[in-house]
Amino acid sequence: MKKIGKTRLLAAISALLLLTGCGKQAKIVNMKEFTSQDGTYSLEADEDYVEADNMGMENWLELESPDKLDTSALAVMQFPKKGGLIGGYSSLKEVIEFTEESNNLSGKTKIDAPANTAFDNIEAYIYQVTENNTEYEICVVYGETDYAHYMLMYAESKLKPHSDDYFESVCASFQENAEIIEAKMSSDTELSDTIRWFNASNAILIDANRWDYQIYGGLEPNEANQTAAKYVLENSWGVTDKDSADETLEWLLSEGHRIDFTADMEILESAGIVEIDTDERTDFLLENFDLSEEDAEYYARWYGRYEEYGEDAASGWDYNRALSQLANFYLAGYYTLEEALDASLLIAETVQASFNSWDDYMESYFIGYEYWSEGDSDARREIYEKLQNASDNPYSVDFNIRLEKSW
């Protein structure tokens, strides 16, 4: 997802630069209020500007002049602190680094930040950018509020003295719509315990993607996220429509990777591992199979889990991905919300019947991940531990809660 985000950001900045041209005399600017498509913020800019393509991002705002001789263009990009297609950054520094790395910005010069803005934290820079063999100067202001990080960008083929005053007035006029933001944040957190359970199952991946586990599936259902979900489903899963989504879900629930995992455990059983003491099984595997010491240790541990749980030793990996894919099917528009939640409810009930706790379920998930990836699960285990200690711990919902249809 982050790769998609970089592509969108680069395309947006390239488009912004193409709006700038060869200069003309500065004019007296009359200001007009412009509002983002999602209504979360507004600012005042040149009344002659018109809104350009926002790359399908309803919380981005790009303004251009219909006058081809005009030398300026303006863009605002919002990065919600809790999720969004491009969001979840923990600091303004991360936003700055992401912006610079994504767009090969050079010639960085720090300048005085605009005063009297709505931002709690603010930094400003001038950069040089080359586009189509033409060098441009852009002024970028980074700021943050309780709700989001922002990047405000003003571009001209060459910044002029009057540009500073104009862009500063634009920044000073920026304001968030508290009512709309409060409504968005409130709707994000108004989840039933059953849907919170679904999100807890997927919380590791949601957090890794810097999305929001207070929203079903981690992302809001909008055009941009639909496009992103379709891209990921097609390129990672071969899912392009409802039929292929159904087939993928059926495979995860009827086979998945637990079938191959179980077959491998049965081979070990046939070789006599069940007769070997637990602390001697690694050596047994090294002697009887062409395995590295690390792989032998994995298989010895996996078999110990298999002795207790059978194929459910790794089924948590398949169930977890099935729940995650259902949310993606919904975001992509292949399933309705009710279809995704109804199917999730059935899977969640199966998970509850197979495991005793979140720790129990997640251990099966980690083992399945290790088997599939042929590597360790350390990074995912660290995320799980971090989330358990978070103030909004998604696993605070009781694993054995009575799951009910509330939609």
- Domain extent, residue 290, equals 191-396
Angle (deg, nearest 10), helices 312-332 and 223-232: 140
Rounded Cα distance, 370 and 300, in Å: 13
Same-domain status, 171 and 40: yes
Name the 3-class secondary structure at 71.
Answer: coil
Domain assignment present for residue 195? The answer is: yes
User: Residues near 365 by Cβ (< 8 Å), separated by ≥ 6?
Assistant: 204, 316, 317, 320, 380
How many domains does the structure of the chain reveal? Answer: 2
- The residue among 132, 153, 183 that closes a domain is 183
Same-domain status, 278 and 178: no
Answer whether 217's CB lies under 8 Å from 328's CB.
Answer: yes
Same-domain status, 215 and 150: no
Same-domain status, 169 and 237: no
pTM score, two decimals? Answer: 0.64
Same-domain status, 196 and 179: no
CATH number for position 110: 3.40.1000.10
What does the pLDDT profile of the chain (407 residues) look like in tens digits? 333 344 444 455 554 544 443 333 345 678 999 999 989 999 999 898 888 876 667 889 999 877 765 556 889 999 888 755 555 677 899 899 988 887 778 889 999 999 889 998 999 999 987 777 777 788 999 999 988 999 999 887 655 555 668 888 999 999 999 888 877 665 554 689 999 999 999 999 999 988 988 889 898 888 888 988 999 999 999 999 999 999 999 999 999 999 999 999 999 999 999 899 999 999 999 999 999 999 999 999 999 989 988 889 999 999 999 999 999 999 999 999 999 999 999 999 999 999 999 999 999 999 999 999 988 999 999 999 999 999 999 999 999 999 999 88
Q: Amino acid identity of 170?
A: V
Domain assignment present for residue 385? The answer is: yes
Rounded Cα distance, 245 and 271, in Å: 39
- The residue among 183, 214, 239 that closes a domain is 183
What sign does the dihedral 101-103-105-111 (CA atoms) show? negative
Same-domain status, 165 and 41: yes
